[in-house]
Amino acid sequence: MRTSYSNAAVHRRIADASILGMKFSGFWNFSNNPNTIEKLFNLIYKHMMKLIIYTFATTLVADLISNTDDLKIFIDDGCFFAGIFVIIFKLTTFGIYENNINELIEKIFKPIDYLKNLNDKDVTTLINENIFFERCTAYGFASLAVCLLITMIFFGNHKDGELPIRAKYPFNSTEGINYTTAFTIQATGVTIGLTGIMAMDTIVLGLCRWTKFQFDVLYSNFQHCGDDIANSKKQQQKKLINNDKTGHNNSEIFKNFVAFNSNENHHLGFSERFKICIKNHQRLIGIIESVNNLFGLNMFVQICGSSFIICFAGYQALLGSNGMRDLMKFSCYCGTGFSQLFIWSYFGNNLLCQGDLLSDGQWFSGWEKQNSRDLKNLLTIPMIRTRKPLELKAMNFFTMSIETFMMILRASYSIFTLLRTMEMK
């Protein structure tokens, strides 16, 4: 494990910061090999954080159940409960699969560590580009989390004795030490939840980003399997295809075959290079499958939760708000749910393009200049495999894509219309 940030490990900094966020939330251990004192600290800290966030969620449920006959209060409570349920569910699954997730992180970053250490100008340029956009994503999540924390805690109800978020406690929470205790539980619970969801989403989207980066390298490698890649006409075709699908030209970024590890020789023949590409393709497919196995249920819960958040928070902002503070609180909450769902869908949509892109890379590999008898089998099976879409799947129900995003917005609007009709009656 890394103990310092060198230039070679700069691409890991966001992931490391997100892992620290998971540890702060109380669902991951602070040390992989703790001594007795560290084990005791981990145990106490994790139970304390879980107790706070579970208590916060329970008080929301209690208030929701006691106000089932009041649509406005029910929607208010349901809005926040949907968010905290998604957070607790995802934190719990992340805690269960902590070791598997850390192994997946290392599996994805190990080839990038090697590529970074090559000091190849073209590779470094694309790595730095991905680092920049990953930081933008992480800082965007952090900004949303801070804004949501401020609006939920300081833009909530501020009448005498009222808590920022509606909740029902087994004691009078409107005055004295009871109010301070209830307020502390809410403020701490929201902070833990927002830190956790920000860390989890940054980790998973970072894994998707760096996996896509390796697909981009692989796409270029397929094209550089032959000694003479293609004539000028083919190069122009590749530019048009790649510009249409990704918005930039990777065949121009990488001018040579790029090895993912020290065992991949740069100077092999066409067949050897093509087989290396096939192995890396299978490796990356396995990574996508691992992502879906580990996070597929989380993505499904995220979709369902985001649908309710967008619907309920939008309803409260437009029709149920009692003044500017409520309007700002629910507008920010709705915007956060909307932004989170869009970013997930955007990353999933990017992966969907990779199958066709790799098929094009194989086609432009220079195979027509080879005389190998095994060429037919060497090309056919991998090209068939690239026709299967690379998908981020929310179990077997949804594929994360812009199309799914639009479908969820339509469903949320339908629920919003239903609630409005019920309110009018």
Question: pLDDT digits over 377-402, tens only?
Answer: 677 767 667 667 788 888 878 888 89
* CB neighbour burial string for 89-116, b if at least 16 within 10 angstroms, e if fewer: ebbebbbebbeebeebbeebbebbebbb
For range 243-258, the mean pLDDT: 56
Q: What is the mean pLDDT of the chain?
A: 81
Q: pLDDT tens, 30-76?
A: 877 778 888 888 889 999 999 999 999 999 999 899 888 887 888 88
The reported pLDDT for the residue numbered 167 is: 86
Q: How far is CA 238 from CA 220, 223, 292, 386, in A?
A: 10, 9, 31, 17
The reported pLDDT for the residue numbered 425 is: 61
CA-CA distance, 359 to 189, in Å (whole number)? 48
pTM of the model: 0.84
The reported pLDDT for the residue numbered 209 is: 92
For range 287-295, the mean pLDDT: 92
State the pLDDT confidence band at 192, using cuts at 50, 70 and 90.
Answer: very high
The reported pLDDT for the residue numbered 155 is: 67
Q: pLDDT tens, 135-150?
A: 999 998 899 888 888 8
The reported pLDDT for the residue numbered 32 is: 74
Q: Where exactly are the structural domains of the chain?
A: 12-424
User: DSSP characters for 102-159?
Assistant: HHHHHHHHHHHHHHHHTT-HHHHHHHHHHHHHHHHHHHHHHHHHHHHHHHHHHSS--S
**CB within 8 A of 111, min separation 6: which ones?**
214, 260, 261
State the pLDDT confidence band at 102, using cuts at 50, 70 and 90.
Answer: very high
For range 303-330, the mean pLDDT: 78
Q: Tell me: pLDDT of 91 over 50.
A: yes
Q: Residue 404 in contact with residue 398, Cβ under 8 Å?
A: yes
The reported pLDDT for the residue numbered 156 is: 58
For range 110-122, the mean pLDDT: 85
For range 186-202, the mean pLDDT: 92
CA-CA distance, 81 to 69, in Å (whole number)? 17
Question: What three-state secondary structure class fits 229?
Answer: coil
Which 8-state DSSP code applies to residue 317?
A: I
